[in-house]
Structure 1
Amino acid sequence: MPLPLYLLAVAVFAMGTSEFMLAGLLPDISSDLDVPVGTAAMLTSAFAIGMIVGAPLVAALARNRPGRSSLSGFVLAFLAAHVVGAATWSFPVLVASRVVAALAYAGFLAVALTTATTLVSPDKKGRALAVLLSGTTVATIAGVPGGSLLGTLLGWRATFWAVAALCLPAAIGIIKGIPARRVRRDAAEGPALRSELAQLKSPRLLLIMLTGAMVNAATFAGFTFLAPVVTDTAGLGELWISVALMLFGAGSLAGVTVAGRLSDRHGGPVVAIGGPLLLIGWPALAVLAQQPAALLALVFVQGALSFALGSTLITRVLYEAAAAPTMAGSYATAALNAGAAVGPLIGATTLGTAAGDLGPLWASGLLVLVALLVAAPLRRVIAAGHSSEDGQTPPETVERIE
């Protein structure tokens, strides 16, 4: 894989750390800014909403700009938002900074998803996405626990400053490392925005996006409420929460890596095998949660299966939306974040039921079941490898992205 992919992954690591880090910082933010914890939780919702809305909106605004300058601009905007967030004593300003950061992340990820697939040959989209998304998985392994520890030792503002510092070398790397001539297009000028948006009328594309969103909703429904399962149900100490999160992140990295090598030509088997295993895994995790060894092992497995299945479906989104070269990444981003926003809300509704802390795990299983039912009519589409019928762009047409 080319070096520019890894430079993009570094930026995704910084941004992914910011997306997930608030879970361990909300009590500190609440106390420091004198707002209730429930109010402080608005920061998470603001970020998720900004990601969903921002992906197609910012991608549309940036579609006629060179890719390299757009990517570096998004990273610098993300950096500036964290500088403002770290310095402010106003909660509304902090909320606004999170919205701006989400818009920048959404725009970056939408453009990066498209750029990543054009940096490699048309039959390696899945592997390119695996490298890019590894930035998110590494963030869950190292970035989030590290940010939580930094916040504990030096306060939540230190974590914001650290994320801002990570963005600077990422921006420089993109400016210096992204080549000038690598983006392939269907035609020299590319399709009109209206033509790209028209791809959303495709039932196949919409169903694949919906399936990916449901799988991601299941992932976040269980992941978000994992901490009380570790401490209350399994009876482990608070330090084991970080261990469980790191195991989930390690599993997700393994799942993305394996799926990246299979999803281009063997997406069908990944879904056909991984889907039922993921469906079984969430209820199994709920049933065996009182056994610490089983809990930790299944956390790793569920992380691997969730991200293997999710990344395979997102790869298919890019294949199905190949006729929308500047907007396809935003469709994938919006689907992922719609699931990330809805999943925790669904999981939260189960906490007051008889299932208690295990409710979100059962909800995750139900969401995977729905996803597999939605995907059933699409098994041939998902199984299809790359081909000219997928709307692949010819390798000989390129456009500058400096």
Structure 2
Amino acid sequence: MLKILPLCLGTFALGIDAYIMTGLLPGISASFEVPASVSGQTVTIFTACYAVSAPIFGALAAGRSVRRVLGASLVLFTLANTLSAVATSFALLLLSRAAAGVGAGLYSATAFSTASSMVPPERRARALGLVVGGLALGTAVGVPGGLVVAGKLGWRSAMWLIVALGTIALASVTTRLPEIAATTPPSLRQRVAVMTDPRVAATIAVSLVTSAASIGLYTFVATLLQAMSGITDALPYLWAWSLGGVVGIYFCSVLIDATGRPEWVMSAVHILMFAVFVTLESALPHPALALVLFGVWGAAAWSSQGPQQYRLLSLHGDKASVVVALQSSAHYLGSAAGAALCGSALIDGVRVNHLPLIAAGLILVALSGQIGIAARATSELHRATRNVVPIKRDAS
């Protein structure tokens, strides 16, 4: 598994870049004299480009050396973050975030397919787990760590940290990976074809709305804390969110394995999110309670991916790469939509303390759809059980 580690260095840098902007928005707003509703669109454009880059640009990489493809994507990612660090206007910052999202999306898709092709079939799950672990570690440890640096040296220092990590990952990928050909990530046509299954379409729709609610609100956490409770240091709350996510991923996997009912596990995740969002405003004046709520929120947010992937793979296990790519795109497109929606709400005059209620409303929509999915899955399971004909044994 050591040969997979260079890929993990890249996803570690990606994990930081995908989520660290949340804590940097106040500094960015001050630097460019724009409101939080506008600076939050740096998250929207990054996640939107992340979501669409793999299917659009992935076909161009097919058949080429993975070292060159991964290297090129990391060069783009690193140069884009360099541009973010030195941006002299908000428009230039937005452009750099879009380019970073393209590089991150292409790297992520190629890294996952490369990891699965570098090991025997029986070790693929572990290999993919390591690559995903890079993303998780980047979010859980890298984001709070980067915010510590930013708190001392300014938001641009966090961008320089990502540049350094991207450079290290680039050197490792280009010198340590073997020369193998890159496979084509699932195309838009393949994804659309699978979406003709209404069960897949419903699951993807729920994933998109869930991410819009959770990550859309998370984008404006620093602004929310400052406006609602005068909290200027968001770091402890982001630590709680990230560490809660690590715990949530583990226990969600255990729960799915124990019950075999990912649809109902996802419903429980929605209920947890709803409870957090409707109580967040009243909890913020009480730091201990607020930290617990952020931990629960993080656990639910990170747990929302596992049940959906399990469900999709159970429906189309023969198209694993397509359904996993669909779920990933739904997550990042939902994140982009949520950030854009919350930002637009603020521009239209909605008070910051109403954002959790908007997120709660979206979660109710997702929950209603998820309960329908769970009920249908349960009904199908019961029908399948009734149709099983017991084998009669010859008494002789």
TM-score range, shorter chain: 0.7 to 0.9
Amino acid paired to 1:203:
P
* Worse-matched range after superposition: 147-156 or 161-170: 147-156
Equivalent-residue separation in structure 1 for 2:335 and 2:328 (angstroms): 10
1:221-300 matches, within 5 Å, as 221-227=216-222, 230=225, 235=229, 237-239=231-233, 241-259=234-252, 268-284=260-276, 286-287=278-279, 289-290=283-284, 291-300=286-295
Match of 1:161 in 2: 160
- Tell me how many residue pairs correspond in the alignment: 375
Contact between 2:240 and 2:294, CA under 8 Å: does it hold in 1?
yes
Q: How much has 1:182 moved relative to structure 2?
A: 10
Unaligned runs of 5+ in 2: 382-396
Contact between 1:16 and 1:136, CA under 8 Å: does it hold in 2?
yes
Match of 2:392 in 1: none
Match of 1:339 in 2: 334
Equivalent-residue separation in structure 2 for 1:247 and 1:132 (angstroms): 23
Equivalent-residue separation in structure 2 for 1:228 and 1:192 (angstroms): 38
1:21-100 matches, within 5 Å, as 21-33=20-32, 38-100=37-99
Change in CA separation of 1:63 and 1:155 when aligned onto 2, cut-off 3 Å = same
Change in CA separation of 1:76 and 1:61 when aligned onto 2, cut-off 3 Å = same
Match of 1:393 in 2: none
Contact between 1:59 and 1:327, CA under 8 Å: does it hold in 2?
no
Unaligned runs of 5+ in 1: 384-402
Amino acid paired to 1:362:
A
Q: How much has 1:307 moved relative to structure 2?
A: 1.4
Match of 2:193 in 1: 198
> Rg larger in 1 or in 2?
2
Contact between 1:316 and 1:382, CA under 8 Å: does it hold in 2?
no
Q: How much has 1:73 moved relative to structure 2?
A: 2.0
Contact between 1:67 and 1:111, CA under 8 Å: does it hold in 2?
yes
Contact between 1:196 and 1:324, CA under 8 Å: does it hold in 2?
no
Equivalent-residue separation in structure 2 for 1:275 and 1:116 (angstroms): 31
Equivalent-residue separation in structure 1 for 2:221 and 2:33 (angstroms): 27
Aligned pair partner of 2:364 in 339, 354, 366: 366
Equivalent-residue separation in structure 1 for 2:34 and 2:176 (angstroms): 43
Q: How much has 1:81 moved relative to structure 2?
A: 1.2
SS at structure 1 position matched to 2:357 = helix
Aligned sequence identity (%): 24
Match of 2:215 in 1: 220
RMSD across aligned positions (CA): 3.9
Q: How much has 1:105 moved relative to structure 2?
A: 0.8
Q: How much has 1:130 moved relative to structure 2?
A: 4.1
Amino acid paired to 2:283:
A
Equivalent-residue separation in structure 2 for 1:47 and 1:246 (angstroms): 22
1:310-329 matches, within 5 Å, as 310-314=305-309, 316-317=311-312
Match of 2:203 in 1: 208
Deviation string, structure 1 residues 282-310 (Cα, Å, up to 9, x no partner)? 32553362543333223212322321231
Match of 1:356 in 2: 354
Contact between 2:276 and 2:297, CA under 8 Å: does it hold in 1?
no
Matched, 1:308 2:306: no
Amino acid paired to 2:278:
A
Q: How much has 1:329 moved relative to structure 2?
A: 5.3
Equivalent-residue separation in structure 1 for 2:3 and 2:146 (angstroms): 26
Contact between 1:279 and 1:368, CA under 8 Å: does it hold in 2?
no
Q: How much has 1:21 moved relative to structure 2?
A: 2.3
Q: How much has 1:259 moved relative to structure 2?
A: 4.6
SS at structure 2 position matched to 1:25 = helix
Q: How much has 1:202 moved relative to structure 2?
A: 3.5
Contact between 1:278 and 1:302, CA under 8 Å: does it hold in 2?
no
Contact between 1:55 and 1:331, CA under 8 Å: does it hold in 2?
no
Change in CA separation of 1:371 and 1:15 when aligned onto 2, cut-off 3 Å = farther
Q: How much has 1:38 moved relative to structure 2?
A: 4.6
Q: How much has 1:249 moved relative to structure 2?
A: 0.5
Q: How much has 1:101 moved relative to structure 2?
A: 0.8
Equivalent-residue separation in structure 2 for 1:178 and 1:262 (angstroms): 36
1:124-203 matches, within 5 Å, as 128-179=127-178, 198-203=193-198
Amino acid paired to 1:242:
L
Contact between 1:318 and 1:332, CA under 8 Å: does it hold in 2?
no
Equivalent-residue separation in structure 2 for 1:19 and 1:122 (angstroms): 30
Q: How much has 1:246 moved relative to structure 2?
A: 0.7
Match of 2:389 in 1: none
Amino acid paired to 1:282:
F
* TM-score normalised according to structure 2 size: 0.77
Contact between 2:263 and 2:311, CA under 8 Å: does it hold in 1?
no
Equivalent-residue separation in structure 1 for 2:222 and 2:271 (angstroms): 21
Contact between 2:309 and 2:324, CA under 8 Å: does it hold in 1?
no
